[in-house]
Amino acid sequence: MALHNFTREQLLLILENSVNKTLGELDVKDVFNRTITHPKITGIAGDVIEQSVLGYPANSDKKPDLLVDGLPTELKTTGIRKPKKKGDFIYEAKEPMSITAVSPDKITSEEFDTSSFWSKLEHMLLVYYHYDSPVTVKAADYANFFIKGYHFHEFSDEEREILKNDWLIVRDFIQELKDNHKNPKAEYPRISSELRKQLMLIDTAPKWPNAPRFRLKRAAVSTLVQKHFGAQFEQLDETYSSFKELDEELHKLTVKYGGKTVRELIKELNIPFDFDGKKDASKSISEQIIIKMFGGAARKLSKIELFSKVGLMPKTVVQTKKGARTEDTKLFKIDFAEWTDRDIMFEDSFAYNYFSAQQFLCIIFQEPSAKSLLLDNKFMGFKRLVFSDEIIEAEVKPVWKKVRDLVNNDKLVETVMLKKDGTPIINKKTQTVRTQLNFPKSEEHTFFVRGSGTDSNYKNFELNGIRMYSQYIWMKGSVINRMLEEVEFI
């Protein structure tokens, strides 16, 4: 299929006139008419941009869509939304960005520079629409979504090297399967699961036997979006083009700082701390320690571009001298509108993406005793933690389904908590009766739901007519400890 010729100036003028207009207003070719007979059709936003805004028919060619001033350029129309967690960012990516098919039959005969993968990424034109809904909407409702921005994008030399390494990991793994198995196709389901821990900017989905596609991770797309809308990220002095290189640096840091207490690290790394005015450090100090170890100045790891775009989240793990985990881990706040969306599949949910697309960079400390200060905890090293498909399917999905059932089918119940003698338990601070909800509990689940708030008089959230604290997903400390035992220190 021939490429569609435009000049850069033509496209900039066309798209500038599209900003802050809805997809419905822009649809001069009546693309949305298709949704009458196909209410769940996918890709409708991209179809409107291609057919109604730029005026050419949709295609699924492996080659880029456009020829812009002589350069083959891939057009990507992608959804953005307000972040679930309030912070510095205006928007985040709604989902990963699909690039091209993995094509196991062809990829092993390709080289990166001439691959269909890189041809789609080398020169890009990105158009952003605001997916302004907490729940899944039918295709026709996309007509209400506004175009919020656009830009031409080319990856930096450092990013290109990361993408190349990621692609080579996939290609070489498929070649290994072909070399060592009589029926390599039977092994293809391993592509997505086994390579997850090694890939920095991309993943592959869905799982075989459905033909997998290369995708830019949602974290990578979010960072790209946030930079376009004005967010500033810190650049580290050193660059790391693979997790192997990053792990080598983490190992060097462990050799240099291992065995030192938090107190000693604060002093050595020149982290601002009032030793005279504060009895102990807060849990956030460990994130500052990681940043300073890498020579950064940001307050959060998510404000350092490398960690932001690879989806690497810091987690502090404090263990006893015997290696036991000291406490459960809070993971994320539940957005019940999204969580209980009747039209969403688990694989498309925030919960699935949280566990499948992100990695935890665990900074491990050892506490001298149960009563010791955090300042006296000793730094032991780093571990990278990835949740396996088995854990996501067997442990996360049942909790996701149970919460949906409780809320959607009006089974959520609040009960008074009783003492052994049958009398109500009274909260000492507020003198109110203590109650509990029948959300999944830690006694029965690896991942469980627990509310978090200041006191029982401040239940600022209502669900199914019940006032409650904001609810969070937690992970049992014993389980994360068991997972960590199976992972070597970096």
DSSP string, 175-214: HHHHHH-SSGGGGTTHHHHHTTTT-SSEEEES-TTS--EE
Omega of the bond leading into 206 within 30 degrees of 0 (cis): yes
Count CA atoms within 13 Å of residue 156 on its CB side: 8
214 in Cβ contact with 204 (< 8 Å):
yes
Architecture of domain 4-228: 3-Layer(aba) Sandwich (3.40)
- What are the structural domain ranges in the chain? 4-228
The pLDDT, as a whole number, for residue 226 is 96
**Which residues, in sequence order, are bridge partners of residue 153?**
124
CA distance 465 to 437: 13
Q: Which residues of 444-462 are buried (b: 16+ CB within 10 A; e: fewer)?
A: ebbbbbbbeeeebeebeee
301 phi and psi angles, rounded to 5 deg: -65, -30
Q: Which residues contact 203 (CB under 8 A, 6 or more apart)?
A: 96, 192, 196, 215, 217, 356, 357
Burial class (CB in 10 A: 0-12, 13-18, 19+), 196: middle
pLDDT of residue 277: 77
User: Where does 67-183 have alpha helices with state H?
Assistant: 104-107, 116-121, 157-180
Return the DSSP state at 108: T
The Cα–Cα gap between 426 and 434 comes to: 6
Is the separation of the CB atoms in 68 and 8 below 8 Å?
Answer: yes
Listed in order, strand segments (DSSP E) in 406-452 are 414-416, 435-437, 447-452
Cβ–Cβ under 8 Å, residues 34 and 28: no
- Long-range pairs, 43-52, Cβ under 8 A, ≥24: 44/139, 44/142, 45/77, 45/79, 45/129, 45/142, 45/145, 46/75, 46/76, 46/77, 48/23, 48/77, 48/142, 49/18, 49/75, 49/77, 49/127, 50/75, 50/77, 52/26, 52/27, 52/28
As a whole number of angstroms, the distance between CA 227 and CA 219 comes to 12
What does the pLDDT read at residue 61? Answer: 66
Mean pLDDT of the chain: 91
Amino acid in the structure at residue 140: A
Q: pTM surpassing 0.75?
A: yes
Q: What pLDDT shows up at residue 418? A: 78
**Spacing of C-alpha 69 from chain mean position:** 35
CB atoms within 10 A of CB 223: 26
Using CA atoms, how far apart are residues 449 and 27, in angstroms rounded to an integer?
44
Residue 357, number of CB atoms within 10 A of its CB = 19
- Residue-wise pLDDT tens digits, 244-297: 999 999 999 999 999 999 999 999 999 998 887 788 888 889 999 999 999 999
27, 52 in Cβ contact below 8 A?
yes
Q: What share of the chain is helix, strand, coil (3-state, %, to 5)?
A: 35, 20, 40
pLDDT value of residue 454: 67
Counting as low any pLDDT under 70, the low residues of the chain are: 1-2, 59-62, 323-326, 430, 454-457
Write down the residue that tokens 């909260």 correspond to. 427
For position 60, what pLDDT does the model report? Answer: 63
